C-alpha cells in the first residue's frame, strides 16, 4: 500500500468518524465530513488500484 493510499484511507476514517459521531447540531461539519468521506474514499480506492499494477517481465529468470 502506498503512502498516498494510506493517507487517504486514514482521512476517510477520520471523516467517517466525524460524519457519524459528531453532534447533529453542527450541520455544516456533518456535510463537510460526508463530502470528505466520499472524496477521500474514492481517492483511496483509485490509489489502491494504481498501486496494484502488476509489472510483467517477459524474461523469467
Q: Quick one: DSSP state of residue 14?
A: H
pTM value is: 0.71
Q: What would the pLDDT profile of 13-26 be if each residue is shown by its tens digit?
A: 999 998 888 777 78
Per the CB < 8 A criterion, the answer to whether 29 and 22 are in contact is: yes
Query: Average pLDDT of each block of 10 consecutive residues along the chain (61 residues)?
Result: 85 90 82 90 88 65 58
SS3 45: helix
- The label of the residue with cell 496494484 reads 52
Nearest to 48, CA basis, from 12, 14, 17: 12
Per the CB < 8 A criterion, the answer to whether 30 and 24 are in contact is: yes
Query: For 43, phi and psi rounded to 5 degrees?
Result: -65, -35
Amino acid at each position: 500500500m502506498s503512502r498516498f493510499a494510506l493517507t487517504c484511507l486514514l482521512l476517510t476514517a477520520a471523516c467517517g468518524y466525524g460524519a457519524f459521531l459528531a453532534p447533529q447540531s453542527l450541520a455544516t461539519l456533518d456535510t463537510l465530513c460526508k463530502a470528505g468521506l466520499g472524496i477521500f474514499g474514492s481517492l483511496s480506492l483509485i490509489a489502491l488500484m494504481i498501486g496494484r499494477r502488476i509489472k510483467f517481465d517477459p524474461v523469467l529468470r
